Structure 1
Amino acid sequence: MTATDTTPVDIPDADDERRVDDWRGRFDEQRDDLPIDESLPRRREARALLLSLLRPYRWVVAFLAVVVVVENAARLSVPLLVKRGIDRGIPPIVDGGSAHTLLTIVAALCVVVVIQAISRVYFLHRSGRIGQKVLLELRRRVFRHFQRLDIAFHDRYTSGRVVSRSTNDVEAIQDMLETGFDSLITAVLTLVGTAILLITLDVRLGLMCLAAFPILVVLVWWFRTESAKTYRKVRESAALVIVQFVETMTGIKAVQAYRREPRNQQIFEDIADRYRADNERTFKLLAIFMPGVKLVGNITTGVVLLYGGYRVLHGQMTIGTLAAFLLYLRMFFEPMQEISQFFNTFQSASSALEKLAGVLAERPGIKDPAHPVKLTSVRGEVAFRDVHFAYVPGRPVLPDLNLTVPAGQTVALVGTTGAGKTTIAKLIARFYDPTSGSVTLDGIDLRDIAQSELRRHVVMVTQENFMFDGTVADNIRFGRPDATDAEMRAAAEAVGADRFIEALPDGYHTDVAKRGGRLSAGQRQLVAFARAFLADPAVLILDEATSSLDIPSERMVQRALETVLNDRTALVIAHRLSTVEVADRVLVLEHGRIVEDGPPSELIHRDDGRYAALHRAWIDSLA
């Protein structure tokens, strides 16, 4: 297919099907990896997380439990009052007597209903506030923890999974806090209370009703066991849908550029179909459980009506007692539906809690020291001492690196892709720690310096030049929010960004739009330079930082760099060797080793030198 071929992509062929099957297999592995395993320790972590969130409100929760008991006691007293009204209030009126007894019972019934309503309103109001505070604390913890976790974690933990943890899983816990516990407590109290009252009203009829209880226990046990497995799969499938959707939309430019839409559509439909199938299983469970409970309840009600009616006709039971019995019987079976709904909510929430607890249990690979060294004045000398580093065990990127960069020196790192240039930059910024050896700043091991302190003095500008929502000024101030307007404008002028910024509709107050979409790639890069220069670090790392600039912009930045990098330690990583002109020293790397080291003016004249060869190849590419 030629570069100009615009033939639409057809439905994937057999080879594509094989790739899709491979992709499904990887996602099957992720299905096992996405949820935290169901081991007892992980469940204990989930329970510990929930208890830690509720602990500040334990006394309020205890009081709310009392309120629920009062509410349910009031609700359970209604059938008793109905019984008394029928048996003791109505007969005097029929006999031509006073209605005082009936009116008293009705007044008591009104008081009970008001107590129930007030208790309910108070419970919903207070529990709602507590639930929202708990969710706020959970969101804070998750967001704070995700920010603290190291770059290696984020490299392997996809953005879609991060979104799923902070939205889908938190919402599942919200559902449980809003309705789950209330439904469970009410259901338990209703079951126990009605069972006692049924026996109290009439022992024989009560035992006949409770004969159905073992059947209900079997139904509930079966539903709980099956729903535990099914709802965990539902949560996993939901997470996979989010992962695939977010990843596709994040890379939509590449998807459309490579006409990947049909294949991505098939992959997404496969995941969505699994999600549908998992949800169908939950409906099948409900289709058996809820009608089963209703069937048992209706049969029991019919038996009670027949037997109770027989006893009423023979004077063995009053009509009021039978009426109360039927009302309590209805109350007895209603909680079963609430319990089933609670299981739905609880299974989703417990699965979400396990996953969130698993994330919060992750420990950053990059840790602050117990007793960090305080940095007073930083000169900026960087040194690597016998550094060995590998992203994958057994495949070293830096096998044995020894390097010293004196304070104030500008060093350019050049070499082929995969030579280890960016890895050196990441080690200096302490995005990773060396497998062995040490990286030092002014003779102090970076592992002995607090990360917040280190990153005040070491700033890295990458080729991604990420822009955050807000104005141009907000993005320049990103590393120093307290900088004055004058300082912010001076940083922009230092890198030559002031000209295009002032030409924008609102100047420095222009909204950059999502990810800086209102700015060109070169303009975003200049803003990123201004952001780094305003931070005023002792060590500045430029990782392919001029890759997005056109020739005029690059020349402008090079002129700015000569001023800004003065008296500052700098590492410049670039494939475009024009950027190297500002360097005092050039390091040529191959397979993680330094093969040439010297001033660019000297290295460029070595006939058999690696840097000279790279420079000639670069000149030829421009031609």
Structure 2
Amino acid sequence: MSVTGVRGEERSDFTVNEGKALRQRSLSLLGSLLHPVRVRVYFTLIIVVISTAAQVAGPALLALGIDQGLTQVLDNNNWLPAELIVVAYILTALVSSSMMAIYMRSSALISQTVLLDLRERVFTHTQNLSMSFHENYTSGRIIARQTSDIETLRELLDGGLSSLFRGILLITFTAVALVALDPSSALPLLVALIPCYFLTRWFSDTSKKQFREARTFSARLIVQFVETMTGIRAVKAFRREARNEASYAIGVDDYKEANRKVIRLFGTYDPGLKVIGVFTLASVLLLGSFRVANGAMEVGVLLAAVLYTRRFFEPMEELAMFYNSFQNASSALEKVSGMLEEKPTVLEPEFPTALVHPRGSLDFNNVTFGYNSSSVVLPNLDLHIPAGQTIAMVGTTGAGKSTLAKLVARFYDPVEGSVELDGIELTQIANADLRRTIVMVTQESYLFSGSVADNIGLGKPGATPAEIESAARAVGAHDFIMRLPEGYETDVNKRGGRLSAGQRQLLSFARAFIADPTVLILDEATASLDIPSERLVQHGLQTLLADRTAIIIAHRLSTVAIADRVLVMEHGDIIEDGSPEELIAGTGKFASLHSAWRDSLA
């Protein structure tokens, strides 16, 4: 079995104290969601109390009508008491129905308000979490939190809570009414509570584990489905359809088996309640019949006692159904609250230092960094990049080039040391200022749903069509854009699926052009371009890189040629540093790389 740990991780074991912490965390989240609508919640609870009280009054009025009203009619031909009782019975039914109608509308409003708040919290929180979270927490799991888990909570809020509160009130009011009407008739009910308690306790303890297990298997199915659809090109390319189907079938079978266990539980619990209810009702009827025969009990009271006893067990069966929703929702709430408890590792400074006129000077001061405690990617790095300088970083895969770029973009913070921009530590600069000043273009060249113009304009909100076109022309993207069906208004489809990899990369360049950052990072940004496209971009790059600091990470040494300075990295250290001409003329690593690259073009 797997559950959501205290920090949202999948765990296969947990202690009793951790289980209590999970419940406390979930209740705390639920309380914070209900707090803004607490007045309406109180109003709704009052409505339910009135409705339930009116509903419970029905059998007592029937008893009164039979034993008192009917007697007055037969003995004295006095219809007034019977008529008043009938009117009272109708009024209680109308009050109960009207209050329930108000309750349904009010509870629906509470449910939708709470769910809207929760969806916004989940979206905002996950979007604001640091890159370390998103690289460890799969997108499928995030989608499961936003869809399946919140949908489960919706089912609980829409119907489950009403069943719970109304059921508890109905049981309580019914028991009180029965004791007030005839204490002797309540004795079989009190005895029946003993097997009901043990049966419910068994059901509760067993179902917690099995409902949590079912939620875990459900989340795994969603994760596998999302990852398969997201990576459908790789699935097709490597012919993984059959293996994915087999793996998914195993997941479906696990989920089916978990649900079968849950259904089997209900197959024992619900009939068990019915059997206890039948024996209790029979006992009340049998004992009451003897008392009526002996003149110790009136017929109307017996009828009311039978009705109350039957009504006592009806909500208990509803509560069993509620428990289904409750356990599902509890497990879902644990997972959602676990994700909401995640904290950003890259924190916004409390008192940020303003960037008035950034120049783009970068300094790494004794920087040590690793993605986890067991490995160090950058050991004690010192580096100065003057403002306006274009540097190219080369080296083997895993040398630390992209890690250095991520530190400049402040996707991560150093474990030791500091990274400074114009003498100010990045940790002291507001995120909004940092994102305007430093822009990173990656090999992924991600495009959002919308038009070509929309995607370019992301770099500068409010950009005019002329500015968007100018940026596209600068990187050589204008010509292919104009060949699209609707030019700049062409919808790029999901993730830019309508465009080639090179075209998507050109649009990401145009987005960076229009952003006009002080520091530009190109992380393998030309890897998807063919040779003609790369030549088109070279001129645009030189235009863009002028008068700004730039870090270019590239395996293609043709891109490196436009740099003022080349850094060769190996195992997190800078082993060579100089101009392209100086390093090519030497006998070091870069000279070897350049020679091999030149031979590959021959």
- TM-score, reference length from structure 1: 0.92
Is 2:584 the counterpart of 1:604? Answer: yes
Is 2:449 the counterpart of 1:454? Answer: no
Which of these residues, 522, 527, 530, is aligned with residue 550 of structure 1? 530
Q: Which shifted more, 318-327 or 280-289?
A: 318-327
Counterpart in 1 of 2:595?
A: 616
Cα offset, 1:98, TM superposition: 4.7
Which of these residues, 414, 427, 430, is aligned with residue 434 of structure 1? 414
Counterpart in 2 of 1:529?
A: 509
Counterpart in 2 of 1:116?
A: 96
Is 2:512 the counterpart of 1:515? Answer: no
Counterpart in 2 of 1:11?
A: none
Counterpart in 2 of 1:349?
A: 329
Which of these residues, 61, 64, 67, is aligned with residue 81 of structure 1? 61
Which of these residues, 184, 188, 191, is aligned with residue 211 of structure 1? 191
- Contact preservation (8 Å) 1:34, 1:355: no
Counterpart in 2 of 1:480?
A: 460
- Contact preservation (8 Å) 2:448, 2:496: yes
Provide the C-alpha distance between the structure 1 equivalents of 2:284 and 2:395, rounded to a whole number of angstroms: 88
Provide the C-alpha distance between the structure 2 equivalents of 1:34 and 1:256, rounded to a whole number of angstroms: 40
Which of these residues, 128, 148, 157, is aligned with residue 128 of structure 2? 148
Provide the C-alpha distance between the structure 2 equivalents of 1:536 and 1:59, rounded to a whole number of angstroms: 50
Is 2:289 the counterpart of 1:332? Answer: no
Provide the C-alpha distance between the structure 2 equivalents of 1:180 and 1:588, rounded to a whole number of angstroms: 62
Is 2:141 the counterpart of 1:135? Answer: no
Quick one: which amino acid aligns to residue 116 of structure 2? Answer: L
Provide the C-alpha distance between the structure 1 equivalents of 2:202 and 2:19, rounded to a whole number of angstroms: 21
- Contact preservation (8 Å) 1:542, 1:573: yes
Q: 1:33 to 1:227 in 2, by over 3 A?
A: closer
Counterpart in 2 of 1:23?
A: none
Provide the C-alpha distance between the structure 1 equivalents of 2:426 and 2:10, rounded to a whole number of angstroms: 35
Is 2:260 the counterpart of 1:280? Answer: yes
Counterpart in 2 of 1:237?
A: 217
Q: 1:287 to 1:433 in 2, by over 3 A?
A: same
**Helix, strand or coil at the partner of 1:380:** coil
Quick one: which amino acid aligns to residue 292 of structure 2? Answer: V
Deviations 1:532-554 (A, max 9, x none): 11111100000111111111111
- 1:293-372, aligned counterparts within 5 Å? 293-372=273-352
Which of these residues, 375, 385, 399, is aligned with residue 419 of structure 1? 399
Cα offset, 1:377, TM superposition: 0.3
Counterpart in 2 of 1:471?
A: 451
- Contact preservation (8 Å) 1:383, 1:405: yes
Counterpart in 2 of 1:62?
A: 42
Which of these residues, 494, 497, 502, is aligned with residue 474 of structure 2? 494
Counterpart in 1 of 2:77?
A: 97
- 1:365-384, aligned counterparts within 5 Å? 365-384=345-364
- Contact preservation (8 Å) 1:36, 1:354: no
Q: How many residues align?
A: 594
Quick one: which amino acid aligns to residue 618 of structure 1? Answer: W
Counterpart in 2 of 1:8?
A: none
Q: 1:532 to 1:34 in 2, by over 3 A?
A: farther
**Helix, strand or coil at the partner of 1:212:** helix
Cα offset, 1:37, TM superposition: 8.6
Deviations 1:173-198 (A, max 9, x none): 22222222221211111111111222
Gaps of at least 5 residues in structure 2 are 1-8
- Contact preservation (8 Å) 2:457, 2:463: yes
Is 2:374 the counterpart of 1:391? Answer: no
Which of these residues, 538, 543, 546, is aligned with residue 518 of structure 2? 538
Provide the C-alpha distance between the structure 1 equivalents of 2:47 and 2:29, rounded to a whole number of angstroms: 25
**Helix, strand or coil at the partner of 1:586:** strand
**Helix, strand or coil at the partner of 1:248:** helix
Q: 1:520 to 1:114 in 2, by over 3 A?
A: same
Deviations 1:439-471 (A, max 9, x none): 111111111112221111000000000111111
Is 2:79 the counterpart of 1:107? Answer: no
- Contact preservation (8 Å) 2:51, 2:99: yes
Deviations 1:280-329 (A, max 9, x none): 11111111110000001111222222222233333332222122112111
Q: 1:33 to 1:313 in 2, by over 3 A?
A: closer
Is 2:229 the counterpart of 1:246? Answer: no
**Helix, strand or coil at the partner of 2:574:** strand
**Helix, strand or coil at the partner of 2:458:** helix
Is 2:483 the counterpart of 1:503? Answer: yes
- Contact preservation (8 Å) 2:60, 2:181: no
**Helix, strand or coil at the partner of 1:407:** coil
Counterpart in 1 of 2:3?
A: none
Cα RMSD of the aligned pairs, angstroms, is: 1.9
Counterpart in 2 of 1:188?
A: 168
Quick one: which amino acid aligns to residue 200 of structure 2? Answer: V
**Helix, strand or coil at the partner of 2:417:** strand
Gaps of at least 5 residues in structure 1 are 1-28
Cα offset, 1:94, TM superposition: 5.0
- Contact preservation (8 Å) 1:382, 1:407: yes
- Contact preservation (8 Å) 1:35, 1:354: no
Cα offset, 1:96, TM superposition: 8.5
Cα offset, 1:482, TM superposition: 1.7
Provide the C-alpha distance between the structure 2 equivalents of 1:170 and 1:237, rounded to a whole number of angstroms: 16
- TM-score, reference length from structure 2: 0.95
Provide the C-alpha distance between the structure 2 equivalents of 1:35 and 1:496, rounded to a whole number of angstroms: 60
**Helix, strand or coil at the partner of 2:176:** helix
Quick one: which amino acid aligns to residue 491 of structure 1? Answer: A
Provide the C-alpha distance between the structure 2 equivalents of 1:268 and 1:31, rounded to a whole number of angstroms: 21
Cα offset, 1:620, TM superposition: 2.5
Provide the C-alpha distance between the structure 1 equivalents of 2:501 and 2:354, rounded to a whole number of angstroms: 38
- Percent same amino acid at aligned positions? 51
Provide the C-alpha distance between the structure 1 equivalents of 2:346 and 2:478, rounded to a whole number of angstroms: 37
Deviations 1:461-511 (A, max 9, x none): 000001111111111112322222222222111111111112211111111
Q: Which shifted more, 589-598 or 524-533?
A: 589-598
